[in-house]
Amino acid sequence: MRLLSPPVGLPVLSESDLVRQVARRLTDAITRGDLAPGAKVAEAAVARELGISRAPVREAARLLESQGLLCAHPRRGFFVRELSPADIDDLYDLRLCIERHAAVEAARRLDAPARAALRGCLDDLYAAAQRDDAARIVEADYGFHRKICEIAGNRRLLRLFDGLATELKVVIGLIGRLYDDPHVIARTHEPVLAALEAGHAERIVAHVDHHIGVARREVGRLARALSPGPETP
């Protein structure tokens, strides 16, 4: 008899648009670490836990595969994608290019409503940290950086950033494993916001480089620790 995979804490769904809801639940489970890199996403087990049929689970898995979060193996099913240190380096290279430019442009457009919106994003991050809600921390962290790109006013740049969303949320989830106190994650964003408010381009780039650079170094170190070593003959 095939053993059923254990539950990972997915709440039952009852509303419409099941595919996107399932995709969101699976994304949350992955960023929280409930579904670890390399873990199999068992369609039957997920469907049973969510109280739905297997069809929307399969479609959600295909959607997450297209976003780079899952990978499919013929006759074996879907698995959580494992990000290698090289993948993380590539991701952070592109992220730095986008966010340096976005932050400088955002500072030029930082009127009172935009400043309030960024502070609101940071408040959301502190609130999520207070609840120790790992999935919400990831969303709020990502939302702060996305808001900077949105304020920058370049729609193509924002679309490019959105294209990194799924992978970014995975690495942000990895960052959460590095800190015992989730408030530390929120506090690391304060210097970035202060630099944007001050409006000096060189200072902004320096703080973005530091903020993202620390994350890149630590996530890369964690990814190397989690990566399986070469097989011995």
- pLDDT value, residue 124: 97
Choose among 97, 232, 41: nearest CA to 10.
Answer: 41
Q: From its phi and psi, is residue 81 left (phi > 0), alpha (psi between -120 and 50) or beta?
A: beta
For residue 80, what are the β-bridge partners? 70
- pLDDT value, residue 127: 96
Q: For residues 147-186, b (16+ Cβ closer than 10 Å) or e, as one string?
A: bbbbbbebeebbeebeebebbbbbbbbbbbeeeeebeebb
| Tens of pLDDT, residue by residue, the chain (233 residues) | 444 456 666 665 544 588 999 998 998 888 777 888 888 999 999 999 999 999 999 999 999 998 878 999 988 999 998 888 888 889 999 999 999 999 999 999 999 999 999 999 999 999 999 998 888 888 899 999 999 999 999 999 999 999 888 788 878 777 766 677 889 989 999 999 999 999 999 999 999 999 999 888 888 887 777 665 544 33
- pLDDT value, residue 99: 97
